[in-house]
Structure 1
Amino acid sequence: MTVAALIVAAGRGSRAGEGIPKQYRQLQGKPVLARTLWALLSHSGISRTVVVIHPDDRDFYEEAIRTLPSPSWSILPCVHGGETRQDSVRNGLEALATLNPEIVLVHDAARPFVGPDLIDRAVEAAERWSAAVPGTPVTDTIKVIGDQSEVLSTPDRSRLRAVQTPQAFRFPQLLDAHRKAAASDLHSFTDDGALAEWAGLPVHVFEGESDNIKLTHPVDFQEAERRLKGEEMTCVTRLGTGFDVHAFSEGDHVWLGGIKVPHDRGVIAHSDGDVILHALTDALLGALADGDIGTHFPPSDQQWRGASSDRFLAHAVELVRKRGGIVDHLDSTLLCEMPRLGPHREAMRQRIAEIAGLRLDQVSLKATTTEKLGFTGRREGIAAQAAATIRLPEVSA
């Protein structure tokens, strides 16, 4: 399934107090929007992201993008919002129409704590039901009141849910619903789930997250600051190493660092035999103390025959992020007489950065010969070693 994310960041956020729009305010040195974007960009299931902004906020937006800890290759050009939130979402959907993703997640810029598990559930809910919203149980008793503040009814709170974002939809159906509402001159829906209901789509509720708070009032920002300070104080750094080797065979190319490199030999391998990506994958798994590449992708499993190794590295990166961790740096050294790394180094670094969701300066590649010693010196095969540095939340004993 191709999944796109649409972040609504065109509001003014007046309830958050005086100052710049809340989505651009700083939380522990980073704009709220940057934190929200990173939560979505770092999820391996999301292929493209579009942000809808207020026309006056271009400078704020560009500054937020510059603070992201990874290349912005998956972010489409920003889109200007409309008079209402509904108009803004429709503008974002129209911008995604040329890509025609199968699923779209609509998310508020002011919810920077959206977690990978919630995103997983959103995608699964859209696949299953076509229109779904995350919700959390209501713990307070709710009263419906009249014009004179008299109680009219008390709903059964076991059947009530407080709705969050990301809200998840099959893209064509949500776009069609928005177009129908605009054609009917309806512009006041503040929730895409409600608009989908109006359009006749059955909308389901899946499990939300209590931590997925929306920053609305000044006290919300104070609580978010306390939370981030606590998270940053309890992270520990881990280092993992990896090594991989493949023998040469007949062929006309090898895969290295996610790039197809012309060569007078191929390699014997169950997958595509990319020694650099395999070594990096093992380095990340080592830092997690979570087995090795053969544990997660056993050679005996035929589904991995000829598989592209970018899937292995992306999986390892996702495991780090599901543990609440951050990949800080990836480093690999290629050991061979031929082919030469130099002509392809920057393309490989860029490809690894894309797979792992890192900046280019967080990826290092080197190469060395073994002075014609050993199997690499005799040009019988190719090898790579790697190191990965990550940060994980510290777990008390």
Structure 2
Amino acid sequence: MIPAAGRGVRLGPGAPKALRALGGTPMLVHAVQAMSASRAVSLVVVVAPPGGAEEVRRLLEEHPLPERTDVLVVPGGDTRQESVRRGIEALPDGVDVVLVHDAARPLVPVGTVDAVIAAVQAGAPAVVPALPLADTVKEVEPRPDGGAEPVVGTPARARLRAVQTPQGFDRATLVRAHEAVAVEGEGATDDAGMVERLGAPVVVVPGHEEAFKVTRPLDLVLAEAVLARRRATDGDV
């Protein structure tokens, strides 16, 4: 499942972030292709921006996927949590492993997708790909006035990971999390965090440096460079 209903304001004005072009192709298409590259993925559910489901359907029809992979487009909600819930509700019976992937991570390698699926199939109720942190992290006391923020702690970096997607779930666990965990305001932005709040275990598999999130203009420049390198190495992708 790919929630793609956000606006992506940090990339600046224009089309929703998922529909921004990367190498001449919308990031959403790259993300769908990345999921369908796994032979274990038979269905990709795309949760479209409100009012944009038909546009997304037409867009995806222009970029055919392997015959083994079906695509279903459903309208999203006001928050990411609501959009994921709508995607879950659209899943057909018999789907036991669910991946939730950010449309803004268009270049995740198929090996990462396969590793997440394998870990869920091996019995983990929730799985996240993640990388060790390169930078030291400080915990601070936020200052609403924009002033200097005092440091209140330095977590041990060896115990920290930067989490990526796709996150993988046993379907029953993910459904239970969305039924039981109520998050106010903008809702949950991390489904694995919702599972944690249930008290269910979440495990980590190795992530990949190319599965970074395209959030700011500099990220888009980096994504273009990665895509250009892949095309030079592997041919058109």
Q: Answer whether contact 1:10 1:81 (CA < 8 A) is retained.
A: yes
Match of 2:231 in 1: 232
Match of 1:188 in 2: 187
> Helix, strand or coil for the counterpart of 2:32?
helix
Deviation per CA, 1:266-289: give whole Å up to 9, x if none: xxxxxxxxxxxxxxxxxxxxxxxx
Report the RMSD for the aligned CA atoms in angstroms. 2.1
Is there any run of 5+ residues in structure 2 with no aligned partner, and where?
144-148
- Counterpart of 1:28, as a letter, is G
| Alignment map for 1:247-262 (pairs within 5 Å) | none
Total equivalences in the alignment: 231
Q: Answer whether contact 1:126 1:168 (CA < 8 A) is retained.
A: yes
Q: Answer whether contact 1:8 1:106 (CA < 8 A) is retained.
A: yes
Query: What is the CA distance between 1:187 and its match in structure 2?
Result: 6.5
Is 1:44 aligned to residue 36 of structure 2?
no
Is 1:13 aligned to residue 8 of structure 2?
yes
Query: What is the CA distance between 1:161 and its match in structure 2?
Result: 0.4
- Give the stretch that moved more between structures: 145-154 or 60-69: 60-69
Is 1:219 aligned to residue 218 of structure 2?
yes
> Helix, strand or coil for the counterpart of 2:89?
helix
Is 1:130 aligned to residue 129 of structure 2?
no
> Helix, strand or coil for the counterpart of 1:155?
coil
Q: Answer whether contact 1:24 1:60 (CA < 8 A) is retained.
A: no
Query: What is the CA distance between 1:131 and its match in structure 2?
Result: 0.9
- Counterpart of 1:228, as a letter, is L
Deviation per CA, 1:58-112: give whole Å up to 9, x if none: 354134303324367733431111121111111101111x323111011011111
Q: Answer whether contact 1:87 1:187 (CA < 8 A) is retained.
A: no
Match of 1:117 in 2: 111
Percent pairwise identity: 39
- Counterpart of 1:160, as a letter, is L
Query: What is the CA distance between 1:190 and its match in structure 2?
Result: 1.0
Match of 1:276 in 2: none
- Counterpart of 1:215, as a letter, is V
Query: What is the CA distance between 1:210 and its match in structure 2?
Result: 1.0
- Counterpart of 1:115, as a letter, is P
- Give the stretch that moved more between structures: 55-64 or 19-28: 55-64
Deviation per CA, 1:172-197: give whole Å up to 9, x if none: 11112111225x87862110011101
Match of 1:277 in 2: none
Aligned mates of 2:4, 2:215 — CA distance in 1: 13
Query: What is the CA distance between 1:168 and its match in structure 2?
Result: 0.7
> Helix, strand or coil for the counterpart of 1:18?
coil
Is there any run of 5+ residues in structure 1 with no aligned partner, and where?
1-5, 237-324, 327-397
Change (3 A) 1:54 1:122: same
Query: What is the CA distance between 1:204 and its match in structure 2?
Result: 1.3
- Give the stretch that moved more between structures: 170-179 or 72-81: 72-81
Match of 2:23 in 1: 28
Aligned mates of 1:186, 1:147 — CA distance in 2: 19
Match of 1:201 in 2: 200
> Helix, strand or coil for the counterpart of 2:119?
helix
Aligned mates of 1:214, 1:196 — CA distance in 2: 22
Deviation per CA, 1:92-138: give whole Å up to 9, x if none: 01111x32311101101111111111011101221231111111101
Q: TM-score, length-normalised on structure 1?
A: 0.55
Q: Answer whether contact 1:32 1:110 (CA < 8 A) is retained.
A: yes
The structure in which a higher percent of residues are strand is: 1
Is 1:68 aligned to residue 63 of structure 2?
yes
Aligned mates of 1:105, 1:194 — CA distance in 2: 14
Aligned mates of 2:59, 2:142 — CA distance in 1: 44
Match of 2:159 in 1: 159
Q: Answer whether contact 1:144 1:153 (CA < 8 A) is retained.
A: yes
Q: Answer whether contact 2:44 2:72 (CA < 8 A) is retained.
A: no
Aligned mates of 1:167, 1:56 — CA distance in 2: 26
Aligned mates of 1:164, 1:69 — CA distance in 2: 26
- Larger Rg computed on CA atoms: 1
Q: TM-score, length-normalised on structure 2?
A: 0.89
Deviation per CA, 1:176-229: give whole Å up to 9, x if none: 2111225x8786211001110112211111111111011101111112112222
> Helix, strand or coil for the counterpart of 2:135?
coil
Match of 1:171 in 2: 171
Aligned mates of 1:59, 1:14 — CA distance in 2: 22
Is 1:80 aligned to residue 75 of structure 2?
yes
Aligned mates of 2:119, 2:167 — CA distance in 1: 9
Whose RCO is larger (CA < 8 A, sep 6+)?
2
